[in-house]
Amino acid sequence: KAGVTQTPRYLIKTRGQQVTLSCSPISGHRSVSWYQQTPGQGLQFLFEYFSETQRNKGNFPGRFSGRQFSNSRSEMNVSTLELGDSALYLCASSSSAGGNQPQHFGDGTRLSIL
Amino acid sequence: KNEVEQSPQNLTAQEGEFITINCSYSVGISALHWLQQHPGGGIVSLFMLSSGKKKHGRLIATINIQEKHSSLHITASHPRDSAVYICAVKLSPIQGAQKLVFGQGTRLTINP
């Protein structure tokens, strides 16, 4: 089985731009969660999608949004980028929602804001 | 105070030593995850626990729900075990959003 695939792996943007990151879950997994990892804050939960519906949301501003498609692939969008958005963005898939099943992580997208 | 606290933050040991990493949490949970992150950034899920003990190869994870504490043990440690180990808890439904809350991680270095 192919693992979780995130694209792109690296991205450089400037302040004020917007960015879209993509995550393809393991085949058959319907839950996709997104996380932000920074040196200062560590790993933080962004949101979780299950069957095209946002099930849970972390404490991030509205500039951070996401969606999930019928094939379970998910995208995350960040608008009006700020320097503090520089981070490793990870997605994880699991067979059910809510974190009661093992999470399978992708390799992440490293976003740098200049 | 963070909801999930790990100790130690950094740990250096010699190959072959028995390693223990601790995780304490202050909220109600329904599951606890141990994750491993290598320098490239990729994260691997090691264990998911809701009670008792699990073992996989040289790794052992335990959880005490009453004491709100979990430990990750590595027996016969090897340099390839060098990584950051992260504890994450899934909040119980009464806590609100069903999300994972992460500890700050323990950086483990095993010297040959």
Distances (CA, A) of B97 to A73, A103, B24, B26, B55: 22, 17, 20, 16, 30
List the single residue in A37, A56, A105 with the smallest CB-CB distance to B99: A56
- Residues B83/B35, Cβ–Cβ less than 8 Å: no
Residue A16 CB neighbours (<10 A): 10
pLDDT tens per residue, range A40-92? 889 999 999 999 999 888 899 999 999 999 999 999 999 999 999 999 999 99
Amino acid at A63: R
Tell the residue number behind the tokens 């319907």, with chain if given.
A30
Q: How far apart are CA B95 and CA A29, in angstroms?
A: 25
- Cβ-Cβ contacts under 8 Å between A and B: the total is 67
- Tens of pLDDT along chain B (112 residues) come to 689 999 999 999 999 999 999 999 998 888 999 999 998 778 999 999 999 999 999 999 999 999 999 999 999 999 999 999 999 998 877 656 668 899 999 999 999 9
- Residues A6/A91, Cβ–Cβ less than 8 Å: yes
List the single residue in B44, B98, B104 with the smallest CB-CB distance to A99: B98
Kind plus residue range of the DSSP H or E element containing B71: strand B69-74
And the tokens for A42?
């560590």
Distances (CA, A) of B20 to A60, B11, B37, B43: 33, 9, 17, 20
Residue B15 dihedral angles phi and psi, to the nearest 5°:
-50, 135
pLDDT at A14 over 80: yes
- Residues A19/A111, Cβ–Cβ less than 8 Å: yes
Preceding peptide of B8 cis, ω within 30°? yes
pLDDT value of position A37: 95
And the tokens for B22?
């601790």
**Bridge partners of A88?**
A37, A110
Q: List residues of chain B with CB under 8 Å from any CB of chain A.
A: 30-31, 33, 35, 40-45, 48, 50, 86, 88, 90, 97-105
B96, closest residue in chain A (CA to CA): A56
- Residues A102/B46, Cβ–Cβ less than 8 Å: no
Give the distance, in angstroms, between the CA of residue B26 and the centroid of all CA atoms in the same chain: 15
Distance from CA of A81 to the nearest CA of B (A): 22
Contact A56 B86 (CB under 8 A): no
Portion of chain A with pLDDT greater than 90, in percent: 81
Distance from CA of B1 to the nearest CA of A (A): 13
Residues of chain B with C-beta less than 8 angstroms from the C-beta of A37 = 41
Q: Which of B9, B54, B100 is nearest to A58 (CA)?
A: B100
pLDDT at A25 over 70: yes
pLDDT value of position B99: 80
**Parallel, antiparallel, or unpaired: how do β-strands B59-64 and B52-56 relate?**
antiparallel
Contact A57 B97 (CB under 8 A): yes
